């Protein structure tokens, strides 16, 4: 007996391995600060919880439509219409899924044939490549421009388009880089996609978490991309709903029939009471979101100030999300060694950049989705450990 080769070939994600090590240390009584996870430290806003409670008391605990609750589908269409993407057909172009990750997975499952290639702008979220592999495809990493926050160039994409190229995945605001792509960055992707007949899967999970008055541009704003574009979004980060597991995918009606079939044959549907909570999130007050984003921006400023005052550390600008890529090449030879060093010496957990693909090997991803006290303590420990490494090396 043995595992299927498509699963046996997968490595345990570095973030999961780190989380397990954190649990082991805490179980042993070690007091550490975990700045590795992308889970907001805020509570889900009360009106969203109340929406779920009403649905539960009303008996919404049974199967629902595989596509999603019609009222929620309409609310999602309205959200994108307000962003300039008018004319969406909720009954044909949207599927609500148990999480944003599931939205990406069923999209890939519905559209990839064996050995199809998917271009990934690297560094990128660590699950993209393995989901492509699970669906029979082959991930092709395209290095982003490190001088521009790892945004991709048209020339770099063009060099990686092979005969089996099927799709490109983009993510803005980007996990792990914190970059918010401008119109011209996305337009470069658009031009390559149109030239070679590629699909574009645009992960816009962090589109509300942007700083300094920026606006996250959506790939959906390019009208000539509508027949080849899948928009992915989630309620997890915007509304502090990671454990609720709800997201959605928007795409061309003909191809969305395949996405729906993939959903029907895997998850069946998304929990009805969770969809009621999501509807309350979209239709209810948004002040809680603005409050969270203001707090994230202040934490961003705190982290960047601390890092830039440490001679052994450096970091990329952060325009959105709640992540910072910290350059630790002056501390350790590679990101895995650096992550282990800071965990064991400084008792602070950060994710090795190598987990996010080529380009991030010299970085650690720091999440500031932690409370202020923990953030202050974590930064103090990080800097102290970096300085200790300098003393050990003799300066």
Rounded alpha-carbon distances, angstroms, from residue 304 to 55, 123, 174, 179, 382: 43, 20, 17, 14, 13
Final residue of a domain: which of 283, 306, 326?
283
Question: Tokens 């921006």 correspond to what residue?
Answer: 297
Apex 87 CA angle, 64 and 268, nearest 5: 20
Please check whether residues 15 and 130 belong to one and the same domain.
no
Please check whether residues 279 and 291 belong to one and the same domain.
no
Please check whether residues 179 and 305 belong to one and the same domain.
no
Q: What is the CATH number of the domain that holds 247?
A: 3.40.640.10
Would 164 be classed as within a structural domain? yes
Q: pLDDT per residue over 288-333, tens digit each?
A: 999 999 999 999 999 999 999 999 999 999 999 999 999 999 999 8
Would 392 be classed as within a structural domain? no
Task: With beta carbons less than 8 A apart as the criterion, state whether 140 and 128 touch.
Answer: no
Rounded alpha-carbon distances, angstroms, from residue 194 to 123, 131, 168, 198: 24, 24, 12, 7
Would 395 be classed as within a structural domain? no
Final residue of a domain: which of 228, 255, 283?
283
For position 104, what pLDDT does the model report? 98
Q: What is the CATH number of the domain that holds 318?
A: 3.90.1150.10
For position 394, what pLDDT does the model report? 58
pLDDT at 393 over 70: no
**pLDDT averaged over the chain?**
95
Please check whether residues 232 and 86 belong to one and the same domain.
yes
Please check whether residues 110 and 205 belong to one and the same domain.
yes
Would 38 be classed as within a structural domain? yes
Please check whether residues 265 and 307 belong to one and the same domain.
no
pLDDT at 193 over 70: yes
Q: pLDDT per residue over 236-273, tens digit each?
A: 999 999 999 999 999 999 999 999 999 999 999 999 99
Q: pLDDT per residue over 84-125, tens digit each?
A: 899 999 999 999 999 999 999 999 999 999 999 999 999 999
Final residue of a domain: which of 229, 250, 283?
283
Give how far the C-alpha of residue 74 lies from the chain's centroid of Cα atoms, to the nearest Å. Answer: 24
pLDDT at 15 over 80: no
For position 11, what pLDDT does the model report? 79
Q: Which domain holds residue 377?
A: 5-43+287-387
pLDDT at 395 over 60: no
For position 129, what pLDDT does the model report? 96
Please check whether residues 277 and 297 belong to one and the same domain.
no
Torsion of CA 234, 240, 245, 251, to 10 degrees: -10
Structural domain count, the chain: 2
Please check whether residues 158 and 292 belong to one and the same domain.
no
For 207-230, what is the mean pLDDT?
A: 97
For 54-71, what is the mean pLDDT?
A: 98
């Amino acid at each position: 007996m043995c595992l299927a080769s498509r699963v046996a070939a997968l490595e345990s994600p570095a973030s999961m391995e780190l989380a397990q090590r954190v649990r082991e240390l805490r179980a042993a009584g070690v007091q550490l600060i975990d700045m590795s996870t992308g889970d907001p430290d805020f509570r889900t806003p009360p009106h969203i919880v109340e929406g779920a409670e009403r649905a539960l008391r009303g008996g919404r605990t049974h199967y629902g439509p595989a596509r999603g609750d019609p009222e929620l589908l309409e609310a999602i269409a309205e959200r994108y219409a307000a962003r300039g993407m008018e004319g969406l057909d909720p009954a044909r172009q949207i599927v609500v899924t148990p999480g944003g990750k599931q939205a990406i997975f069923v999209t890939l499952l519905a559209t990839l044939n064996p050995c199809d290639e998917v271009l990934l702008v690297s560094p990128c979220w660590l699950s993209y490549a393995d989901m492509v592999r699970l669906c029979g495809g082959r991930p092709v990493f395209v290095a982003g421009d490190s001088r521009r926050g790892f945004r991709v160039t048209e020339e770099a994409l063009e060099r990686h388009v092979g005969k089996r190229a099927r799709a490109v995945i983009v993510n803005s605001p980007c996990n792990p880089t914190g970059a918010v792509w401008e119109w011209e960055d996305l337009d470069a992707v658009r031009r390559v996609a149109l030239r070679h007949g590629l699909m574009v899967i645009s992960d816009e999970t962090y589109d509300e978490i942007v700083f300094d008055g920026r606006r996250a541009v959506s790939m959906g704003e390019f009208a000539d991309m509508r027949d080849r574009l899948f928009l992915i979004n989630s309620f997890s980060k915007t509304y502090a709903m990671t454990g609720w597991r709800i997201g959605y995918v928007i795409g061309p009606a003909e191809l969305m029939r395949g996405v729906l079939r993939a959903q029907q044959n895997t998850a069946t549907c998304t929990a009805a009471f969770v969809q009621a909570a999501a509807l309350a999130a979209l239709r209810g007050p948004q002040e809680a979101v603005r409050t969270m984003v203001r707090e994230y921006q202040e934490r961003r400023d705190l982290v960047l100030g601390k890092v830039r005052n440490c001679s052994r550390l450096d970091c990329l600008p952060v325009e959105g999300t709640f992540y910072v890529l910290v350059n630790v090449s002056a501390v350790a030879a590679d990101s895995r060694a650096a992550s282990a060093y800071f965990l064991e010496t400084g008792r602070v957990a950060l994710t090795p950049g190598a987990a996010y693909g080529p380009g991030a090997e010299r970085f650690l991803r720091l999440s500031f989705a932690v409370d202020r006290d923990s953030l202050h303590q974590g930064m103090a420990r990080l800097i102290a450990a970096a300085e200790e490494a300098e003393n050990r090396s003799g300066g």
